[in-house]
Amino acid sequence: MTGGSGQVWDAGGMTEGLDLHLSVDKAAGFVGRALETALREAIRSGRLHAGARLPGSRGLAADLGISRGTVVQAYAQLAAEGWLVGTPGSGTRVADLPAGRPAAGGPDPSPAAKRPAIDLRPGRPDLSSFPRTEWASSVRRSLSAVPYGSLDYSEAAGLPVLRAAVADYVTRARGVRADASAVVITAGFTQGLALLARVLRRLGMWTVATEDPGLARHRDVLHAAGLVTAGLPVGADGADPAGLAGQAAVLTPAHQYPRGVVLAARHRSAFVDRARRQDGFIVEDDYDGEFRYDQQPVGAMQALAPDRVVFAGSASKTLAPGMRLGWLVVPAALHGPLLEAIAELAAAVPVVEQLAMADLIGRGGYDRHIRRMRLVYRRRRAELAQVTTTPLEGVAAGLHALLPVESAEQERVLIGRGRQSDLRLHGLHAHGYWREPSQDQPAALILGYAAPPPHAWSRALDALAAVLR
């Protein structure tokens, strides 16, 4: 290795295995110059960005079929020109680009892009509380014990070990009637809904009822599958079954999103009766059913009619959305068509994540994390209530609360005022079938109190109090 200003360091084995695609015309002579030109062009185009590590001279020479000395000379020449820089112990890297010349596809360097915002939008857990240590242990244990054959293409329904773990969990914690044969593992609820929409369309069910207000993303997914959606008005007792159109519905019975109400028992029975009479199905999105604070847990609607209700859960709110892990407990009539849809789209979930999740559930780590976060979110909910003069709604469960406001205009003004203070807020009107704010519709801020990390929670409350004042 050589050192000093403008010289190149070769970190030996640490960089020998790096791959680098270069087109070098060895037949034209002057191979060293051709290599220099190819490297310059890769840096100019942004394919090699500032800070990118290059292969060691020995490895690159072997890959290109040229002498190591030629590679060393090319690296040294580009270092002298300022294109490359050598750092002891870390090999050769692309030098920082000249000022005013951002790397292709790089982040926006403006101060506004770097300024952190306080996020009180709903639908996000505290990502900083992800159980990293327990998850890492689950990954290590699973990989050390898994037979090689399990790393092959997995069953469309998911690994049996995870399906069994999920069946045990949802039966125990959510009152679902399930065994492993009815469980299908998905990459989160959205993928599961997209797959179910594909199945419903094939069965001739062209209209799906969704809650109004409700999650707009649900409607978008259903529309993308070629289905039509119809609104179910949501009142104090949840979605009104009298407005049910079509043979299928997507509901959030345990904690309606975003109103936060529980679907009344008589409404649950009415939905199930309609589904049976019309040979239809209900998709139960149990997105945050684990987080209930003030009363006995509300059991899953699926237990009323396992043959008509698809129970859907995921790790998005309990662990992190980026986990992309979910599950469906599927009626027998939908099981085969759903597996066909998964196979057609190659929508199976990666094996390692499934193994780790099965270990986390089986060893009790998943339950422990939920209990721990339930205490954290209950405390945050109480602290949030102290900074609002208007009583919050929908606070018995979940990760968000509704703060009613006087009008759609006030909702819009408060969201804009929050944006000016780097406080991200969300309004009720974003979730209704109505597209423009209306004075005739209820208005509220939907406050997601779970997302800010612990060190930012007090600042979030102060910022919200200032906006409301």
| Dihedrals phi, psi of 134, to nearest 5 degrees | -65, -40
Which residues belong to CATH 1.10.10.10 in the chain? 13-94
Q: Minimal CA–CA distance to 127: which of 257, 288, 322, 289?
A: 322
Q: What is the pLDDT of residue 436?
A: 53
Q: What is the pLDDT of residue 127?
A: 94
Q: What is the pLDDT of residue 373?
A: 96
DSSP state letters, 403-420? EE-S-HHHHHHHHHHHHH
Q: Minimal CA–CA distance to 359: which of 137, 153, 154?
A: 137
* Distance in Å from the first CA to the final CA of the chain: 64
Q: Are 408 and 438 in contact (CB under 8 A)?
A: yes
Q: What are the 10-residue block averages of pLDDT along the chain, 469 residues in total?
A: 44 61 75 89 88 88 88 89 80 74 46 63 92 96 90 92 97 95 97 97 95 92 95 94 90 94 96 95 95 84 97 97 96 97 93 96 96 96 93 92 92 92 89 59 91 93 93
Any idea which fold 13-94 has? Arc Repressor Mutant, subunit A (1.10.10)
Q: Which CATH superfamily is domain 118-127+377-468 in?
A: Aspartate Aminotransferase, domain 1 (3.90.1150.10)
- Helix%, strand%, coil% for the chain, nearest 5: 45, 15, 40
Q: What is the pLDDT of residue 364?
A: 96
Q: What is the pLDDT of residue 57?
A: 87
Q: Minimal CA–CA distance to 229: which of 433, 442, 435?
A: 433
Q: What is the pLDDT of residue 115?
A: 47
Hey, what amino acid is at 327? W
Which residues belong to CATH 3.40.640.10 in the chain? 129-366
Q: Are 428 and 442 in contact (CB under 8 A)?
A: yes
Separation CA 417–CA 392 (nearest Å): 20
Which residues belong to CATH 3.90.1150.10 in the chain? 118-127+377-468
Separation CA 351–CA 323 (nearest Å): 13
Q: Minimal CA–CA distance to 318: which of 261, 379, 367?
A: 367
Q: What is the pLDDT of residue 63?
A: 87
pTM of the complete model: 0.81
> H/E element holding 59?
helix 57-64
Helix ranges (DSSP H) in 363-453: 365-386, 408-420
Q: What is the pLDDT of residue 372?
A: 96
Q: What is the pLDDT of residue 25?
A: 75
| Choices 3.40.640.10, 3.40.50.300, 3.20.20.105, 2.160.20.10: CATH for 129-366 | 3.40.640.10
Separation CA 277–CA 329 (nearest Å): 21
